[in-house]
Amino acid sequence: MAANPSEKKETHFYYPSEAFAQNAAIPGMNAYRALCRAAEEDYKGFWAELARENVLWRKPFTKVLNETNPPFYKWFEDGELNVSYNCLDRNLENGNADKDAVVFEADDGTVTKVTYRELHKRVCKLANGLKSLGIQKGDRVVIYMAMSVEAIVAMQACARIGAIHSVVFGGFSAPSLSERIGNAGAVAVITADRQIRGGRHLPLKAIVDDALAMNENHAVENVVIYRRTGDKIDFVEGRDHWMHELTQSQAEICEPEWVNAEHPLFILYTSGSTGNPKGALHSSGGYLLWAILTMRWTFDIKPTDVFWCTADIGWITGHTYNAYGPLAVGATIVLFEGVPTWPHAGRFWEIIDKHKVSIFYTAPTAIRSLIKASNENAQFAPEQYNLSSLRLLGSVGEPINPEAWLWFYKHIGKERCPIVDTFWQTETGGHVIAPMPGATPLVPGSCTLPLPGMFVRVVDETGQELPWGQGGILVINRPWPSMIRTVWGNDERYKTHYWPEELGGKLYQAGDGAIRDPETGYFTITGRIDDVLNVSGHALGTMEVESVLSAHPMVAEAAVVGKPDDLTGESICAFVILKNELPKGDEAKTIAADLRKWVSQEISPIARPKEIRFGENLPKTRSGKIMRRLLRVIARGEEITQDISTLENPAILEQLRNSL
Ligand code: WTA
């Protein structure tokens, strides 16, 4: 199968400027290769040295990696530390006390700045408050909050006392929340009265009440509520506590609970494509180490940077690159409560301008929607704002199609800022494949090369490594410090799902397909393995087709799913959002014919979508992931029986269903 055509056209590399490269943590490909070689030659020594340099240990470790019971690996297992101490106290001791830790921009534009000293104080007070409720090391605490300083305080307070937090994204419904509270065996929930998004007040505490009512066997004894809006809520005496009342008279110092490096830091549920959500369990030491290192390597973080990661704390990106990584390296972060398109589609650019953001990390889906918005209304185009503070851009969550990459590069980075396309997962804790911005020549649409210390391969169904140029299954073939430790309460599922027997049981299967460029070895992620289509015996990555459709001048965004077909086994159904208005009747037919021809030309007639449906948007989760399983149901003309509670825009389903 031909490689992505838009990539073929884009044969030249994009290099960092000399000034950027010179000042970078990894200042060139030689430095990158030297680190990779160091890891290759002495794997344990490589990690041990980095762990000693970057993490503050209360008790130094003497053991690096314990491999006696694979795939249950242990890192730095006799070391002791506290993650909150590493993120907060460290900054009070090294001169950052009065530096802004968090610049919070509320939905309505109000700005609150919190220094490291202040953050430390708030975390200690809440940590003492939680202790006063009897919450102890190892207890699980569910955090159900929106983007707020208090959410970060809550996470850090749990870490300080050794409690294991499990953040549940504030867009989840009561049944989903209830399931997670139950699965985690949480003894407490931290929430807010309400959350504010796009000018609307949405419930949080009421959903917690519903979630708890749904499960009689839950173990929750306390609910702590941050007062965000002051809207009326029901209050259960004895169980519910206002956060401000709980913390009011608490001491401003809280001695950290020193924990073992393997002590769990958090559980984060991943919305698996099938079955119940899996609670990915992360450790303290190894996770923190990689959060710190990737801040230094991938984001090249400097003391003067203003770092903005738009991901919600309900997702792994918000954990590693809002709540932990940036604080552990003493950075200033921007935390945004609202949505990118409210009150207008220039909001992201306005925030970059206003807070002089220097590193901006977001998702391709946000980029694509803002491209569309700025095409529709020049008033909200990035050109209306001063983006000169930017020096580095990042992308995460899904493959970024070359067209969106180039727009991001040109219109946001002004051809000055490298783009780090970071491939990773909830389970990996931090980046796996990403360019090192001062070193790696960039190619739009490729996440380029693995980070030093990450051993990534493309293999066939038997675990055999494939030659470059041949698409296959992406695996990681050595344990790494920030890896998932298990699926909470289900060791068996961890073992069978992530370390499949078919591949020999020794390879971590990421769940994605990938292909390496025959010349450079650069990785391109071809989509989830479960998203691979088989048309007339030809394997086609859904992303491959989507990328081509999105590269068509008329198309804003496209999603492709398979549909059973009598003749070809599977046929392709494409859902397409145009840059212009929704086409109707003959116009729609003509455009669909054009798009078929285009795909046919750019990939092959096999990849030509049999069906093309136009809509004004795609069904997406609130974190911006396209919900392909719903598209599959629509394509098959079946009734939707799945849970759509995480859907941002349910009305779109009806429109797409009627679009033929
Ligand atoms: C996808 C998000 C291509 C991939 C950090 C992965 C990507 C899943 C990229 C994990 C990228 C993430 N290029 N695909 N740069 N980043 N993915 O657990 O399919 O929410 O397996 O973690 O997102 O999603 P998760």
pLDDT digits (tens, 9 = 90+) for 556-577: 999 999 888 777 777 899 999 9
Residue 529 beta carbon below 6 angstroms from any ligand 1 atom: no
pLDDT band of 653, cuts 50, 70, 90: confident
Mean pLDDT of 249-257: 98
Predicted local confidence at residue 534, as pLDDT:
67
Test site for ligand 1: of 266, 322, 425, 440, most ligand atoms within 8 A of the Cβ = 425
Residue 447 beta carbon below 6 angstroms from any ligand 1 atom: yes
Q: What is the DSSP string of 478-507?
A: S--TTS--EETT-HHHHHHHHS-GGGTS-S
Distance in Å, CA 422 to ligand 1 centroid: 8
The whole-angstrom separation of Cα 493 and Cα 486 is 8
Predicted local confidence at residue 658, as pLDDT:
83
Residue 425 beta carbon below 6 angstroms from any ligand 1 atom: yes
Mean pLDDT of 156-175: 93
Cα 433 vs. chain centroid, distance in angstroms? 14
Distance in Å, CA 277 to ligand 1 centroid: 16
Q: Whose CA is nearest to atom 4 of ligand 1?
A: 398
Count, in order, helices (H) and strands (E) of the chain: 22, 30
Test site for ligand 1: of 316, 361, 454, 512, most ligand atoms within 8 A of the Cβ = 512
Residue 421 beta carbon below 6 angstroms from any ligand 1 atom: yes
Q: Is 448 annotated as a binding residue?
A: no
Q: Is 317 annotated as a binding residue?
A: yes
Predicted local confidence at residue 444, as pLDDT:
96
pLDDT band of 8, cuts 50, 70, 90: very low
The whole-angstrom separation of Cα 549 and Cα 551 is 5
Q: What is the DSSP string of 591-660?
A: HHHHHHHHHHHHT-GGG--SEEEE-SS--BBTTS-B-HHHHHHHHTT----S--TTBS-THHHHHHHT--
**pTM (predicted TM-score):** 0.85
Is 70 exceeded by the pLDDT of residue 4? no
> pLDDT averaged over the chain?
93
Of residues 648 and 428, the one with the higher pLDDT is 428
Is 80 exceeded by the pLDDT of residue 213? yes
Q: Choose among 105, 625, 12, 623: nearest CA to 332.
A: 105
Predicted local confidence at residue 35, as pLDDT:
98
Q: Whose CA is nearest to atom 19 of ligand 1?
A: 528
Query: In 25-49, which positions are buried (b, 16+ CB within 10 angstroms) versus exposed (e)?
Result: bbbbeebbeebbebbeeebeebbbe
Residue 270 beta carbon below 6 angstroms from any ligand 1 atom: yes
Q: What is the DSSP string of 259-277?
A: EETTSEEEEEEE--SSSSP
Predicted local confidence at residue 273, as pLDDT:
40
Residues whose CB is less than 8 angstroms from the CB of residue 184 and which lie 6 or more positions away in sequence, other chains included: 140, 142, 164, 166, 267, 279, 488
- Residue 70, preceding peptide bond in cis (omega within 30° of 0): no
Mean pLDDT of 290-318: 97
Distance in Å, CA 312 to ligand 1 centroid: 15
Write out the residue limits of the CATH 3.30.300.30 domain(s) in the chain: 536-656
Contact 269, 279 (CB under 8 A): yes
- Range name among 10-19, 314-323, 533-542, 557-566 with the lowest pLDDT average: 533-542
Predicted local confidence at residue 566, as pLDDT:
75
Distance in Å, CA 291 to ligand 1 centroid: 16
Residues whose CB is less than 8 angstroms from the CB of residue 573 and which lie 6 or more positions away in sequence, other chains included: 560, 561, 562, 563, 609, 610, 611, 612, 613, 631, 635
Is 80 exceeded by the pLDDT of residue 642? no
Residues whose CB is less than 8 angstroms from the CB of residue 630 and which lie 6 or more positions away in sequence, other chains included: 619, 640, 642, 644, 647, 653
> Would you identify the CATH topology of the domain 18-339+418-511?
Rossmann fold (3.40.50)
The whole-angstrom separation of Cα 603 and Cα 526 is 14
Q: Whose CA is nearest to atom 12 of ligand 1?
A: 397
Residue 426 beta carbon below 6 angstroms from any ligand 1 atom: yes
Instruction: Please list the alpha-helical segments (H only) found in 448-584.
Output: 491-498, 542-551
Closest atom of ligand 1 to 447 CA is 15
Predicted local confidence at residue 271, as pLDDT:
57
Is 90 exceeded by the pLDDT of residue 468? yes
Contact 428, 400 (CB under 8 A): no
DSSP 113: E
- For residue 98, give the 3-state DSSP assignment: coil
Distance in Å, CA 396 to ligand 1 centroid: 7
Is 70 exceeded by the pLDDT of residue 182? yes
Closest atom of ligand 1 to 400 CA is 13
- For residue 21, give the 3-state DSSP assignment: helix
Mean pLDDT of 321-333: 98
- For residue 547, give the 3-state DSSP assignment: helix
Distance in Å, CA 537 to ligand 1 centroid: 27
Residue 128 beta carbon below 6 angstroms from any ligand 1 atom: no
Q: Choose among 432, 409, 434, 411: nearest CA to 421.
A: 434
Predicted local confidence at residue 532, as pLDDT:
64
Test site for ligand 1: of 167, 266, 424, 476, most ligand atoms within 8 A of the Cβ = 424
Phi, psi of 555 (to 5 degrees): -95, 135
The whole-angstrom separation of Cα 568 and Cα 534 is 8
Sole residue written with tokens 């918000």: 318
Evaluate the CA torsion angle 139, 140, 144, 146 in order and state its sign: positive
The whole-angstrom separation of Cα 471 and Cα 338 is 39
CB 410: neighbour CB atoms within 10 A? 11
Residue 546 beta carbon below 6 angstroms from any ligand 1 atom: no
pLDDT band of 241, cuts 50, 70, 90: very high
Sole residue written with tokens 């989830």: 528
The whole-angstrom separation of Cα 385 and Cα 387 is 6
Contact 600, 607 (CB under 8 A): yes
Mean pLDDT of 230-243: 97
Is 90 exceeded by the pLDDT of residue 535? no
The whole-angstrom separation of Cα 423 and Cα 395 is 9
Test site for ligand 1: of 423, 529, 542, 628, most ligand atoms within 8 A of the Cβ = 423
Q: How do beta strands 359-362 and 392-396 pair?
A: parallel
Instruction: Please list the alpha-helical segments (H only) found in 140-196.
Output: 149-161, 174-184
Q: Whose CA is nearest to atom 15 of ligand 1?
A: 423
Burial of 638 (0-12, 13-18, 19+ CB in 10 A): exposed
Contact 325, 152 (CB under 8 A): no
The letter for the amino acid at 134 is: G
Q: Choose among 314, 316, 336, 317: nearest CA to 176.
A: 314
Predicted local confidence at residue 244, as pLDDT:
98
Q: Is 457 annotated as a binding residue?
A: no
DSSP 109: S
Contact 557, 574 (CB under 8 A): no
Sequence-ordered strand ranges (E) for 399-507 = 419-422, 456-459, 472-476, 486-487
Predicted local confidence at residue 300, as pLDDT:
98
Q: Is 263 annotated as a binding residue?
A: no
Write out the residue limits of the CATH 3.40.50.12780 domain(s) in the chain: 18-339+418-511
Closest atom of ligand 1 to 525 CA is 3
Residues whose CB is less than 8 angstroms from the CB of residue 214 and which lie 6 or more positions away in sequence, other chains included: 174, 175, 178
Closest atom of ligand 1 to 427 CA is 18
pLDDT tens profile 34-61: 999 999 999 999 999 999 999 999 999 9
Of residues 247 and 513, the one with the higher pLDDT is 247
Q: Is 632 annotated as a binding residue?
A: no
Residue 312 beta carbon below 6 angstroms from any ligand 1 atom: no
- For residue 457, give the 3-state DSSP assignment: strand
Cα angle 199, 407, 523; round to 5: 110
pLDDT band of 5, cuts 50, 70, 90: very low
Distance in Å, CA 524 to ligand 1 centroid: 12
Contact 618, 557 (CB under 8 A): yes
pLDDT band of 132, cuts 50, 70, 90: very high
pLDDT band of 2, cuts 50, 70, 90: very low
The whole-angstrom separation of Cα 613 and Cα 133 is 55
pLDDT tens profile 67-126: 999 999 999 999 999 999 999 999 999 999 999 999 999 999 999 999 999 999 999 999
Q: Is 398 annotated as a binding residue?
A: yes
- Residue 518, preceding peptide bond in cis (omega within 30° of 0): no
Share of the chain above pLDDT 70, in %: 96
- Range name among 260-274, 289-303, 453-467 with the lowest pLDDT average: 260-274
Query: In 129-144, which positions are buried (b, 16+ CB within 10 angstroms) versus exposed (e)?
Result: bbbeeebeeebbbbbb
Closest atom of ligand 1 to 527 CA is 19
Q: Is 58 annotated as a binding residue?
A: no
For domain 536-656, say whether CATH 3.60.21.10 is its number. Answer: no
Predicted local confidence at residue 192, as pLDDT:
98
Query: In 262-289, which positions are buried (b, 16+ CB within 10 angstroms) versus exposed (e)?
Result: bbbbbbbbbbeeeeebbbbbbbbbbbbb
